[in-house]
Structure 1
Amino acid sequence: MKTASPPPARDRILDAANSLFYAEGIRAVSVDAIAAKAGLTKKTLYYHFRSKDELVADYLASRDQPNLLLFEEWFTNAEGGLPRKVEAIFTQLAIAARHPKWRGCGFLRTAGELANLPGHPAMKVGAAHKKKFEAWIAGEFRNEGLHEPDALARHIVLLMDGAFSTMLVHRDPAYAESAGQAAKALVELALAAASRSRS
């Protein structure tokens, strides 16, 4: 019987970085700790990543598509119309936040740790991720014929990141549920305004 071959070294390093950076924070985790968790030497790590800064950026980049796809899945699978689908993103976020290993939004936490380094490559990755979410939800609003979909998407992003931050402060997922109710109300108002303009 064949045994499965271990993942490539680069994947092992990224998996270790994902686990440690998300659980403990960027500054708290050393390159040595990541190499040890990956079961590799530090020399091998530096063969694949020129610096810790590059590894941090690639750690966030590895979370980009999985996170965006999860939001889209929550939205698509929700029953009801557009307001309910938007609210479902927040409802599912609250469910996720009840898991004991939940540590908030990795993108926001990294931005907080690197706030004094605006040119850091990870800051650019995080900003691009947030813009992708905003563009996606704006596209959903545009498809429904809502007026000013970009402005509404920005409001949803503010509610989303506000929920992430407040849950970290209070350790209470109910804040995400409250943000979801506010998001639902905003979308309902936008739908009503679009309906009036068409009649």
Structure 2
Amino acid sequence: MKQPAKERIIDAANRLFYAEGIRAVSVDAVAEKAGITKKTLYYHFRSKDNLIEAYLTARDQPNLVLYEKWFDEADGTVADKIEAIFLQLAQSARHPKWKGCGFLRTAAELANKPGHPAMKVGAAHKKKLETLLADKIRQAGIVDAAALARHVVLLLDGAFSTVLIHRDPEYIEAAGSAAKSLVLAANSSQV
């Protein structure tokens, strides 16, 4: 059974925007990749901005589910599990098609448009990740879980950015080690 046109458009946008960047990809290219006409694309999305928003919205839950899976499947303490997220990301970063965080890359391309709908989707995604980590840290009995989760997200996003510059996944591993140390320090200060 053929995938509905709207889903094909979002899939095509996901592949193209992630691989090449949102400014480098035209609506024509997305329509062609989806196997539809430009008119059909505009039937489902009023503008390229709406398509960019849909692209990030489609990435939101799968990314969050993956982070949670990596955390839950890791052995050890909450500190080990936080580090495992970074180690899994470092492994992903070794793949030749890995281009970093689609949310951060889109935000960089839209830096002069803070009210863009995709910026709001990106901010909400990052906040959901922070909340997810805070919940996991809180469940481990660490008191200031929200602040600690924010520190972990800062390390994570910093690692994403640094790897895009240096193309060396060891930076993600180093950030993971730092995140683990922060969680261990927070846990030991409560004892």
Counterpart of 2:118 in structure 1 is 122
Q: Shift of residue 143 of structure 1?
A: 1.3
Q: Secondary structure at the match of 2:159?
A: helix
Q: TM-score, normalised to structure 2's length?
A: 0.99
2:29 to 28, 33, 55: 33
CA contact (8 A) 1:145 1:194 kept: no
Aligned-pair CA distance for 1:194: 1.9
C-alpha distance after superposition, 1:77-99 (max 9, x if no partner): 11111110000000000000000
Residue 82 of structure 1 corresponds to which residue in structure 2? Answer: 78
Matched, 1:53 2:52: no
Instruction: Quote the residue 1:161 is aligned against.
Output: 157
* C-alpha contact 1:164 1:176 (8 A) present in aligned 2: yes
Q: Secondary structure at the match of 2:189?
A: helix
Distance 1:162 1:89 in 2: 14
2:171 aligned residue: 175
**Secondary structure of the corresponding residue to residue 194 of structure 1:** coil
1:66 aligns to 2:66 (yes or no): no
What do residues 102-125 of structure 1 show as CA deviations (whole Å, max 9, x unaligned)?
000000000000000000000000
Which protein has the larger Cα radius of gyration, Structure 1 or Structure 2?
A: 1
Decide which of 101, 111, 136 is 2:97's aligned counterpart. Answer: 101
Give CA-to-partner distance per residue, 1:48-72, whole Å, 9 cap, x none: 0011000000000000000000000
What amino acid does structure 2 have at the position aligned with 1:180?
G
Residue segments in structure 2 that go unaligned for 5+ positions in a row: none
TM-score (norm 1): 0.95
Q: For the aligned residues, what is the CA RMSD? A: 0.5
Whole-Å separation in 1 of the counterparts to 2:75 and 2:139: 18
* 1:60–1:107 CA contact under 8 A, matched in 2: yes
Match of 1:152 among 145, 148, 160: 148
Matched residue, 1:194: 190
Shift of 1:145: 1.8
Identity %: 67
Rounded to whole Å, the distance in 1 between the matches of 2:150 and 2:67 is 16
Which residue number corresponds to residue 19 of structure 1? 15
Q: Provide the rounded CA distance (Å) in 2 between the counterparts of 1:72 and 1:20.
A: 26
Q: Tell me if 1:92 matches 2:124.
A: no
The Cα offsets for residues 23-46 of structure 1, whole Å up to 9 and x where unpaired, read as: 000000000000000010000000
